[in-house]
Structure 1
């Protein structure tokens, strides 16, 4: 039986085991997928545990997406450019890193917006997931993506490291809150608001436009504090289920060679989360 896992801290909220184990059963594969808690600062020891388990592949989530890179044997060009990995495949005894976050997010986003080229976007955060999304949107042809982050230096590093052309201004939190009504799309990429800290929000969006879309990559809970605030202002919202499903489908394809039924995956995740 092949073994697959997801690593992170926290990890108990993850729906990945439910989603992938259902797919393994659906496609009649002799495989199992589990969640493995590896605390921040304990990555080296945790990865040794995975080697002893002889895992065939694994997903990487907060806070290990960038820290894992030195422990991998090689990276595909996109994950190397982004500087973050969320999927690892074992090939000929070596661990190869990939990033399906950005592409997965884009596929989910385009189910809500038919075009992005004329949109003014504000992205909250500049961590591993943010890098994947920022690079992918820039490559897709988005012209304007501003970034707000607690560390302005980290946001600037993200802007300067992107190999694709995009107009970006780094803004502080107060400026972003005052001017959030200017944006067509606000993308929340941090872990703020994730279960169990469901009362937290990374940004006060009281000034948001009713025409805007607020997209949060968190899927547990389905309606984070920032999405609730957006709805109260009449704005459209999107939770992280679409990104979660598509990045998972792309990872599944890399492990098995099969692109799975994404609608089935979405129904299963929503059922587990009690949503629709």
Structure 2
């Protein structure tokens, strides 16, 4: 087989049933593979999201999970080329480590020093980060623009970094980052420097221990985003903001956690009468949609995906 005899583009399914419609969920000799490389990862909802999107749109693709840590990552990335996969998602602990095995990075990935999506174009592997895109787009879906807004951001890790970078790239006026002085502090300092050098966004970093500054920043912000793990199991009974008076009604309160569906932070914000309170499901779906678009050139049917994945939970919220 020559190098050009088979494209790794995910094409429309050619096989049809008796009714003339594409047979969805079909695997044949033309099926193109994408995947997810992380450890652990068997709990991931990404295969459900992507495979149902392929089926809904009649695309001949398949999405599989591969439990891969740093020790097997080089071989796994080489397999993307060898198997002519269209690409792969990447999650912890591989988001930084994978960069050394790629050929190119998107501007946002360079700024974040992290990758969550790989695209294979005939052996050239490009790394992207779509987490921040997911955050911004999930707000757009609700009719909310971040442009020229002031945002207080709690956290400096794997979710917070792309949120800060993408928000700065997309025109947020000011980002006030708060984090404890842990192993993420150096990354937070690097994020501040990078954003200052490459965007027009004003950005600062403050120790979360300074609760007076934290309270004042939230009161002055249009958006408060918690991108820490607080509120997620086993910390589901915790929140960084306990007092509803810290919030004002016209702001956005966004928790990147999506299990439980209503976090303690969200309950505090709702008690304060905040008009726009969101969990992380929209961000999760939209970051996946951004990866899907990179691989297929098509829009993920996000309303359909939300319905099949979360409709029962939303009814019971």
Q: For the superposition of Structure 1 and Structure 2, which TM-score range results when normalised by the shorter chain?
A: 0.7 to 0.9
Tell me, yes or no, if structure 1 residue 204 matches structure 2 residue 241. Answer: yes
- Residue 121 to residue 56, structure 1, CA distance change in 2 (3 Å): same
Post-superposition offset of 1:216 = 1.8
What is the RMSD of the two structures over their aligned residues, measured on CA atoms? 2.5
* Matched pairs, number: 271
- Structure 2: tracts of 5 or more residues without a match: 1-30
The SS at the match of 1:128 is coil
TM-score, normalised via structure 2 length: 0.75
**Aligned to 1:218, which of 243, 252, 257?**
257
TM alignment of 1:84-103, pairs within 5 A:
84-103=114-133
Task: After superposition, give the CA deviation of every residue in 1:118-166 in whole Å (9 maximum; x if it has no partner).
Answer: 5321111122332222122222222111001123433221110111022
Q: Summarize the alignment of residues 1-276 of structure 1 with structure 2, pairs less than 5 Å apart.
A: 1-38=31-68, 42-49=69-76, 51-52=78-79, 54=83, 55-112=85-142, 114-151=144-181, 152-162=185-195, 163-176=198-211, 177-179=214-216, 180-194=218-232, 196-199=233-236, 201=238, 203-206=240-243, 207-211=245-249, 212-235=251-274, 236-271=276-311, 274-276=313-315
Inter-partner Cα distance in structure 2 for 1:252 and 1:144: 30
Q: Distance in 2 between matches of 1:13 and 1:31?
A: 21
Following the alignment from structure 1 to structure 2, what is the Cα–Cα distance between the partners of residues 263 and 81?
31
Structure 1 Cα separation of the partners of residues 145 and 76 of structure 2: 44
Change (3 A) 1:257 1:141: closer
Deviation at residue 10 of structure 1 after TM alignment: 4.3
The 10-residue stretch of structure 1 (184-193 or 251-260) with the greater mean CA deviation from structure 2: 184-193
For the structure 1 residues 193 and 46, does the alpha-carbon distance in structure 2 shift closer, same or farther, using more than 3 Å as the test? farther
Gaps of at least 5 residues in structure 1 are none
Q: TM-score, normalised by structure 1?
A: 0.85
Q: Report which of the two structures shows the higher radius of gyration computed on alpha carbons.
A: 2
What secondary structure sits across from 1:242 in the alignment?
Answer: helix
Question: 2:97 aligns to what SS in structure 1?
Answer: coil
